[in-house]
Chain A
Amino acid sequence: MIDRLSALSGAVGKWFAVLLVLVGTFETVSRHFFNAPTIWAYDSMCMAGGAIYLLGASYTYMKDSHTRVDLLYSRCSDRTKALIDVIGAAVFLFPLMIVMFQMSVTWAIRAWRINEVMFNSFWYPPAAPYRTLFAIGLFLLLLQAAAKFARDLYFLVRNETLD
């Protein structure tokens, strides 16, 4: 179920990659050939990039593609690996990412409340939608991490895989 959410997050997120390519190309052509630079391309591209990273975070976690320094890890048995992942998630992932999620919610609410804008350009787009997306991305990452945590724990205790 959570895997599906992460897959969905990936499915949605991937369109931002296409968007990024199209906007970047459009801006170049429009500025160079038509002398008509846009005021929205710069911020749109930054936000599309952010959407890729944040929506990709849970998808990448599901695919176990977050880089590990696996000098020792790769030599461990599956059970030891599960043990490392359970302890690692409890120590390195949940405390930090729960706090980051909580902060991202606080700042998203603040952005909606004060009508925060981005001022990299004089387009001044509202910051709230992106701040919200940022929080959603972290929430999905936490869900995915919780699902993997449950599976690893089950495997550790029962020595058989869940599902």
Chain B
Amino acid sequence: MIELSPELVAILMLGGVFVLALSGFPIAFVIGSIAFFIGLVTFGTTTTFHILYSRFYDLSLNYPYLAVPLFTFMGVVLQKSGITKELYQRLYEALGSFRGGLLLVTIIFGTILAACLGVIAASVTILALIALSPMVSRGYDRSLAAGTIVASGTLGILIPPSIMLVVYAPQAGLSIGQMFMGAVFPGLILSSLYIVYVVTRCQLNPSLGPPIPAEQMTPFTVDKVGKLLMALVPPVALMVAVLGTIFAGVAPPTEAAAVGSFASILLAVVYGKFSWGMIRDASIETLRVSAFVVLIAALCYAFVGIFMNAGAGDVVAEMILAVPGGRWASFLVIMIIVFMLGMFIEWIGIVFIIVPIFSPILAQLGFDPLWAGMMICINLQMAFQTPPMAMSIFVLKGAAPEEVGLTMGEIIRGVLPFVGIIVFSLILFTLFPEIITWLPAQMIGPSH
């Protein structure tokens, strides 16, 4: 065993992910192996093997992650039964000459999904399964379509319910309910900014989101409205089944996902689109998507164990405490560190690293803990979309239908402007902290 300084371990592990991910070998194994080799050198076999195996095994039994297979299942059933294809076709016709209309629809749909789902991969997967093909096949810009899906799918981790807020709040001693409330306006503002962005771009350059060709334009008829309504009913019914199950307290989100999957099968039956082949396809696709998503998550989770055991988390704390220039300088550094960590490791690791370190510092500097925690979570939400370690991008890449054939480069190019929008929104929430704090303050019962 060699005594590596925590600073060196931090650099080797984070830098290692950055460089070796580019090799193009499946990312899950790259991340796991970096932890494996650094662990072997620093701690020897017993400790390294135990940490990696116990965390890998533990995550495989994680309850909230069940939303991944369940929502994938639901997404595939909706896609294979043609229900969503029909919906996008009708919306496309209804939106007629409006440029970038389907992007707008995707963002709105993503925002609604975000209010139902709390695990990121689930909403990105659904959007990838149902929104990508309809846009690309109608000549929408591939990068813009991909970026829109990643950004609006990632809102799922911010807009409640959110697994991230559920993990963050108790670590920081905050109320889950208040954090949920605090996330509502930031989430909706982000969603609106995304809409402004895509619509503006498509207005300036119609080829990015072409309107329906003039020769396909049909006059607005009662028949057309009827068809739109018919196409809207199934997904809306499904949303009601899932959302209603969650909001009425019938079931927590994971079980609601099961109900949603079941309801989507029923829907296919009602619409005469059911076949056993569809169930087979849906379950095998569920297997494919959730295996790679959860394998990445599990090996990232294992990676964090080695990272923390090496004391690399403390390195981050020392950096903060060494910053000159007052509370806002420290705050800025904290945000930059969260962002940089987000570029490399999974959010759950970041929560473990930063909460014990940053919460007391932020409180000491006189920041409202709820506001500060929310800012960190919004920042982390951005981290899902920043390469090279970008879970949302990986999920879109893996779940995108084969015939679309998206490349990583196309996705990243599309995502970057959205990252810019999130940075902008963070400045906005700093200037107007009430956007975050107002709603939680309206809750019944005093906050403490």
- In the complex they form, do A and B come into direct contact, defined as C-beta atoms under 8 angstroms apart? yes
Point out residues on A near B: beta carbons under 8 Å.
10-11, 13-15, 17-18, 20-25, 27-28, 31-32, 42, 45-47, 49-50, 52-57, 59-61, 63, 65-74, 76, 81, 84-85, 88-89, 91-93, 95-97, 99-100, 103-104, 107, 118, 120, 130-131, 134
A53 touches B22 (CB 8 A): no
A47 / chain B contacts, CB cutoff of 8 Å: 61
Which of B25, B32, B57, B245 has most A Cβ within 10 Å?
Answer: B25
Q: Which of A28, A61, A91, A131 is within 8 Å of B259, CB to CB?
A: A28
Contact A65 B398 (CB under 8 A): yes
B291 to chain A, nearest CB (A): 3
Kindly state the separation between the CA atoms of A31 and B248 in the bound complex, as whole angstroms: 13
CB distance B61 to A66 under 8 Å?
no
Q: Are B66 and A20 in contact (CB under 8 A)?
A: yes
The answer to whether A107 touches B254 (Cβ under 8 A) is no
Closest to A85 in B: B25
Q: Is B287 on the interface with A (CB-CB < 8 A)?
A: yes
Is residue B294 contacting chain A, with contact meaning CB distance below 8 A?
A: yes
- Number of contacting residues on B, CB 8 A? 67
Footprint of A on B, CB under 8 Å?
20-30, 32-33, 36, 49-50, 52-53, 56-57, 60-63, 65-66, 69-70, 73, 245, 250-251, 254-259, 261-262, 265, 279-280, 282-284, 286-292, 294-296, 298, 387-388, 394-395, 397-398, 407-409, 412
Known contacts A24-B70, A55-B287: does B262 contact A93 (CB below 8 Å)?
Answer: no
Q: A120 contacts which chain B residues (CB < 8 A)?
A: 63
Interface contact A24-B254, CB-CB below 8 Å: yes
Q: Inter-chain contact count A-B, CB under 8 Å? A: 218
Shortest CB distance A73–B (Å): 3
Bound-complex Cα distance A28 to B244 (A)? 13
* A84, B29: Cα distance in complex, Å: 13
User: Which residue of B254, B296, B298, B412 contacts A67 across the interface (Cβ within 8 Å)?
Assistant: B296
Establish whether residues B291 and A32, one from each chain, have CB atoms under 8 Å apart when the complex forms. no
B408 engages A52 (CB within 8 Å): no
* Distance, CA A93 to CA B25, complexed state (A): 9
Provide the bound-state CA to CA distance between A17 and B265, in Å.
13
Question: Which of A17, A68, A85 has a CB less than 8 Å from the CB of B27?
Answer: A68
